[in-house]
Amino acid sequence: MNKRILICNRGEIAIRIAKAVSELGGTAIGFYTDFEKEPAHLEYCQEWIYLSGTTNLETYLNQDKIIELAQKSKADAIHPGYGFLSENPSFADKVKETGIIFIGPHAQAIHSMGDKAVSKKIAKDAGVPVVPGSVGKIDTINEAKDIAKNIAYPVLLKAVAGGGGKGMRVCNNDEELEKFFPAVQREAKSSFGNPDLLVEKYIVNPHHIEVQILANNKGDVFHLYERECSIQRRHQKVIEEAPSPFIGSDEKTRQNICETAVKLARHVQYDSAGTVEFIMGEDKSFYFLEMNTRIQVEHPITEEITNIDLMVNMIKSAFDMDLDFKSQEDIQIRGHAIELRICAEDSETMLPSPGMIENYDYELGKGIRFDHCLRPNREISSNFDPMVGKLVARGFDRSVAIRKVRNALNKLNILGLKTNIPLLKVILAEETFQAGQYTTFYIDKIKPQENLNLNITPQELLIHAIEKEIGLTN
């Protein structure tokens, strides 16, 4: 594939894209900016381009400037990664108008599935189960109360254009709904430029299950099974697993949810990599939540259990090339994979903690993968998401994957930067997580942040894990 691909992103995802482009024989073109003179991803790009500006609005969110630079560099395609402009239909349309390929779905799919009210209606029309609640946006508190009365409390107020856990609030009665309605509107307006809200039934003890989709321009849509993403703080994911330990050996439910995701993707004529997200109740009934029309942070665990390179095949799909597999039967689950998001965060407060990386070291054992953008003497800025890497382990089964990822985490040291590694160690050793019985309430109910022992050594943690596994301790 002798193509030139401009990567309009940064950090570990830009490195991931650049590696895939190089593997396919293409030329990866990366940006550097005024506030990142030598970003880590340029080591993996064949060409570098200066993107002027000192803010995200002036750089990675500047559509016209990026397209102008793509034309000057004679790029055949633009890959947006995730975040920034990856789910912006206007950007996808502008790219297409120039004759440059947008590596992602067509703009109409991005537009329709990016709006929670519109996507919910589309899902309903496609015969996909949706959470009971408002079909479209609601305009008044009284309207919200009427819906809440019909579906019964608790309900969830959520921004139509929301994401990343922002613009969401649980309400248990009319009084809370009256109190939170204007506050959620304000947050939605400030975060997304759109104050419109939905009201939905709040599912008790829910699981966040998502299905990976990969489609091409020929109308073929495939699923690569599900991921469990229920370990969250403030509705943002911390640990992901594939396949879901909650679904476990229930192949009927697995097949049902995966085929439902394919049905929705076909309905919107989807033609790239994407994720259909569901909320699953205690009885394994599931409802459509949203669709992410891009590659996901947690895509590596799906790659590990299917042995299919999602990034490579996403690029192949954009260029109308044959995918690495022929049919759904070619895609099988092999083993279990777990991903830990390594973030520059305070483990106790779980708030971002930017700073300078003095040095780091890690050890990659068999079945371990570490996608990261760590470099010595590099600053982790508050301008960007605090995630600096993704530690992934693949094992014969879940217990082996947990053992491997704990061992790898114990051998990961990042100096000079406060990270969430201590919190991750506590979660991995905690019995509810080990049993695979956690829900999206895990952080709030189990409160692993209150059990931190920041002085415990990696060797002590490993000894405890071994003793527990062979029954010497609880």
Catalytic site positions: 294
Three-state secondary structure call for residue 55: coil
CA quadruple 185, 188, 190, 192: dihedral sign: negative
The residue length of the chain stands at 474
CA 335 to chain centre: 21
**What is d(CA 168, CA 334) in angstroms, rounded to the nearest whole number?**
36
Contact 338, 393 (CB under 8 A): yes
> Cα separations (Å) of 327 from 221, 224, 273, 323?
9, 11, 16, 10
**What is d(CA 96, CA 352) in angstroms, rounded to the nearest whole number?**
36
Long-range CB pairs of 129-135 (<8 Å, 24+ gap) are 129/260, 129/285, 129/286, 129/287, 129/288, 130/287, 130/288, 131/200, 131/201, 131/203, 131/279, 131/287, 131/288, 131/289, 132/200, 132/201, 133/198, 133/199, 133/200, 133/201, 134/198, 134/199, 134/200
Contact 53, 383 (CB under 8 A): no
DSSP string, 92-104: HHHHHHTTPEESS
Closest alpha carbon to 352 in 233, 253, 469, 243 = 233
